[in-house]
Structure 1
Amino acid sequence: MGLIRGMARTAVVAGTATAVSNRVSRRQADRWSQQDQQQYEAQQYQQQQAQQYAAPPPPPPAPVAAADDGPDMLEQLEKLIGLRDAGALSEAEFEVAKAKILAG
């Protein structure tokens, strides 16, 4: 009977140790899970704050004058010269209008 009692005691001790070990492992896993969740939420909050207070994107660059503007400007100058030569514009008026065309 002593042998059976010894085996039974060993089984009880081993079973209790396993149960305690499993419980400790579950509690530790739960703590790590909570910490991971808190860290995730903190990161999400920081990202939201960064997006909220981020500077707006820079405006697109101004369009570059197309090559088609050259002949149009030339045509305007030719018309202006024609008006000056016809006497419709004085030399001063011609110079002012020419400066406006060249300035864009």
Structure 2
Amino acid sequence: MPLFGRIGRPGLLGLAARTAIVAGTATAVTGGIRRRRRNRYETEQQSLAYEEQQRQDQVDAAAAKAAQDASGTANAQPAPIPQVPSSAAAVPSEQGALLDQLKQLADLHSAGALTDDEFAAAKAKLLG
């Protein structure tokens, strides 16, 4: 009979040590996965926040430019509104042009270059 070691199944102490090693390894791997996921999520959130800030800066710059243009043109004559021939049977290209002009009017109105009354009159003139 050997003096050191056992033959056969490991004893209770060996089984507990093996279990502790497996559990520790699993915990370390899980922790690493969580850390990588958290870092990836934070990076994505920072990227999204940066992009949103860039978009907001562009909107603010456009609004400031529109306000400056509106205040600069307040004393000047308003730009003439393009005339669109009104007919009951408009061809598709004329309808597209009319839609484009209405969109331009809406953009000017939303930018503050046209008042509500000016917008309504220009729209009625186009649709009239």
Question: 10, 13, 28: which is aligned to 1:8?
Answer: 13
CA change 1:16–1:42 in 2 (3 A) is same
State the identity %.
14
In the other structure, the counterpart of 1:93 is none
Paired with 1:16 and 1:60, the residues of 2 have a C-alpha distance of: 72
In the other structure, the counterpart of 1:53 is 58
Question: 40, 43, 46: which is aligned to 1:41?
Answer: 46
Q: What value does the CA root-mean-square deviation take over the aligned residues?
A: 2.7
Higher helix share: 1
Paired with 1:13 and 1:45, the residues of 2 have a C-alpha distance of: 48
Mapping 1:89-100, distance limit 5 Å: none
Q: TM-score, normalised by structure 1?
A: 0.52
Report the count of equivalent residues.
Answer: 65
Secondary structure of 2:117 counterpart: coil
Question: 12, 22, 35: which is aligned to 2:27?
Answer: 22
Paired with 2:20 and 2:116, the residues of 1 have a C-alpha distance of: 79
Q: TM-score, normalised by structure 2?
A: 0.43
In the other structure, the counterpart of 1:62 is 115
Paired with 2:33 and 2:12, the residues of 1 have a C-alpha distance of: 31
Question: 27, 34, 37: which is aligned to 1:32?
Answer: 37
Once the two structures are superposed, what CA deviation does each residue of 1:40-65 show, in whole Å capped at 9, x if it has no partner?
00000000111111232611642539
Q: Which runs of 5 or more structure 1 residues have no equivalent in the other structure?
A: 66-104
Paired with 1:63 and 1:24, the residues of 2 have a C-alpha distance of: 64
